[in-house]
Amino acid sequence: MDIMDSINPGCEELGDENTLPGISEGEIIVIRSTRRKKNISAYRQGGRIVVSIPARMSKADERAMVPEMVAKIRAQEAAMTMSEEALANRIDELLRELAPEITLRPACVSWRAMRERWGSCTGVDRSIRISDRLKGAPGHALDFVLFHEAIHLQYFDHGPQFKELLARFPRAEIASAYLDGYEAAETALAAPEALKKLLHRHA
Ligand SMILES: [Zn+2]
């Protein structure tokens, strides 16, 4: 169970004094797992990268291996990420296919670190921002957010006209289910951290 790993007393969060070179403080969490004998794994958890290493790995090996794993995760993410130009092109395709009556196009589309929202559209300067949590998301879920924000170019609120256009998106429930599931997982993953703090307070 991963939760047991997370509250294992062997876990540590890198602080000031042992931040690894090239990695900003607080971005990486190293978990020493007693269940792991040899293998090392890394995964993205919200804004952080969690690296799980065997409990007995030496500090020297940790310093050598962790940056390597972090680089691997970043390379994977870069390969999966659409460029901002590609996002704008995709919006154009979606509007032409699903809502040809909207002729407005965004002046700029950009990735943003947004934890609370999936996207935003500012009518004044026609700029669309997409949460970087969607980097690597299934195309269908990303399309759904792109289309939603693109409709806002024409309709600022979620009124009947907005809803009528959004309803044209095929299998919107599946895309919504992915987004809801992602948010639920984020909440669930945050729980062990809170639990850890609670345990330390009573230690
Ligand atoms: Zn909206």
Residue 87 CA to its chain's centroid (Å): 16
Residue 81 CA to ligand 1 center (angstroms) comes to 23
pLDDT in tens, 155-175: 999 999 999 999 999 989 999
Residue 104 CA to ligand 1 center (angstroms) comes to 16
What pLDDT is attached to residue 23? 54
Using a cut of 0.85, tell me whether the model's pTM lies above it. Answer: no
Nearest to 110 by CA among 95, 122, 96: 122
Domain covering 84-182: architecture? 2-Layer Sandwich (3.30)
pLDDT surpasses 70 at 36: no
What pLDDT is attached to residue 193? 63
Domains of the chain, by residue range, sit at: 2-80, 84-182
pLDDT in tens, 81-119: 889 999 999 999 999 999 999 999 999 999 998 888 999
Asked if 153 and 162 touch (Cβ cutoff 8 Å), the reply is no
Residue 113 CA to ligand 1 center (angstroms) comes to 17
